[in-house]
Structure 1
Amino acid sequence: MQAGPFRILIVDDHPVLREGLSSILHEEPDMIVAGEAGSGEEGVEMFRRLRPDVVLMDLRLPAMTGAEATETILKEFPDARVVIFSSYSGDEDIARCLRAGAQAYLLKDMLRTELIEAIRTVLAGQRYLPRAVQQRLRERRAYRDLTTREREILGLIVKGLRNREIAEVLGATEGTVRIHVSHILDKLGATDRTEAAVIAIERGIVAIE
């Protein structure tokens, strides 16, 4: 790991949280806050301009999500280091961010010491996943993957659409939609549409805007 000071970019749409993170980082003698961004797009632009050592990236951001911003940054700068921090612990959220290239995934109820440990671990070129996050990924192995069409239909179920309305949106027959819904319930282990919607949100399969 190179010598400090290490430059950190904070990306979060909540000014109070950015201020809190900045305060924590300022207590570390070898870390400085290089910049703060309030959206995914702004975070990408600031990374291009500042080239920080680590990005602290919120997951749920307006327009461009943290996972999308991470993927964009890593495509342009393969050596970039991104730490996702989120209040969402769904296995789909976690897996999506890791696929995008994030080296760490932290929950926002983390301790200050855990945040610093994660940053230093990532700076050393290693991945950092807390036990709770590792557990969610282990549980994920027991789930059966949904197809692209099933995910699309599940998203419409979460929005409250019935089979007939979903069929109209997708240009499919109501019977076909009914079969897909049956498969979705089976794969999620849900007894009805409402439970399927709850599971979809909890796991991060469908994001609520």
Structure 2
Amino acid sequence: MQANITLYHIEDHQLFVEGIFSLIGKEAGITWLGSANNATDGLKEVIRLQPDVVLLDYFLPDMNGLETAQKILNLLPHTAILILSMESSRDLIRKCTKLGILGFLPKTTDKQSLLDAIHSIYRKEPVFPEIQEISKEIPTGLNMLSKREKEIAFLIARGFTSAQISEKLFLSLLTVNTHRRNLIHKLKLTNTAQLSAWISKLMEEEL
């Protein structure tokens, strides 16, 4: 008989929450309990609902993912936590395992890998990228970018316009266009078309 896994998501970008929900929110064997866009509210709900699995963003506005995970595990030690992030490093993986976090995946992961990871950590089977592959989780050329630039690059690669990015990330159109220009300059490209093509190619190689 298939297990019914209860799941809660803590992530500050609504676009990503909606994307994850569209992928797995109605998947057989998974009950989506809800989401929060900050660690403080997320902790309260996780303690109240006591889900089997928590999907947790590493970057949150009020507390990072490791601090949040530690608070969850101190109160609910049997909760399985899966960190989802655009950042990765050997040091971060080591910190996750030391805290008792059972899984870590890049945000560019595909649906099946995410589902497999959820079921694995529910069974208390750790899910971490191989050490030799960690450096490949974020395309090399994107390592020089800030968190916000990576978020915008992530959306550009998926065909979002500046206006759509502005709406999704709650930024002004001027700010988004400034980031686009900075991305072009940092990556030594000529125009937005080259930027979109370059990022899309790198993302495809990593999926």
Aligned to 2:82: 83
Structure 2 counterpart SS, 1:13: coil
Q: Which amino acid aligns with 2:63?
A: M
Whether 2:9 is the aligned partner of 1:10: answer yes
Whether 2:135 is the aligned partner of 1:135: answer no
Structure 2 counterpart SS, 1:10: strand
Q: Indicate conservation of the 8 Å contact 2:93/2:128, yes or no.
A: no
Normalising by structure 2, we get a TM-score of 0.61
Structure 2 counterpart SS, 1:21: helix
Q: Which amino acid aligns with 2:70?
A: E
Aligned to 1:114: 113
Whether 2:47 is the aligned partner of 1:67: answer no
| Separation (CA, whole Å) in 1 of partners of 2:111 and 2:134 | 23
Q: Indicate conservation of the 8 Å contact 1:8/1:33, yes or no.
A: yes
Note the C-alpha offset of 1:100: 2.2
Note the C-alpha offset of 1:80: 1.1
Normalising by structure 1, we get a TM-score of 0.60
Consecutive unaligned residues of structure 1, counting only runs of 5 or more, are 139-209
Aligned to 2:56: 57
Find runs of 4+ consecutive structure 1 residues off by over 4 angstroms. Answer: none
Whether 2:117 is the aligned partner of 1:99: answer no
Note the C-alpha offset of 1:109: 1.1
Q: Indicate conservation of the 8 Å contact 1:59/1:84, yes or no.
A: yes
Q: Indicate conservation of the 8 Å contact 1:68/1:100, yes or no.
A: no
Structure 2 counterpart SS, 1:22: helix
Name the larger-Rg structure.
1
TM-aligned CA distance change 1:53 to 1:124, over 3 Å: same
| Separation (CA, whole Å) in 2 of partners of 1:55 and 1:81 | 6
Q: Indicate conservation of the 8 Å contact 2:57/2:84, yes or no.
A: yes
Q: Which amino acid aligns with 2:132?
A: Q
**Alignment: residue pair count:** 135
Q: Deviations over 1:108-165 (max 9, x none)?
A: 111111000000001111101133xx32679xxxxxxxxxxxxxxxxxxxxxxxxxxx
Q: Indicate conservation of the 8 Å contact 1:89/1:136, yes or no.
A: no
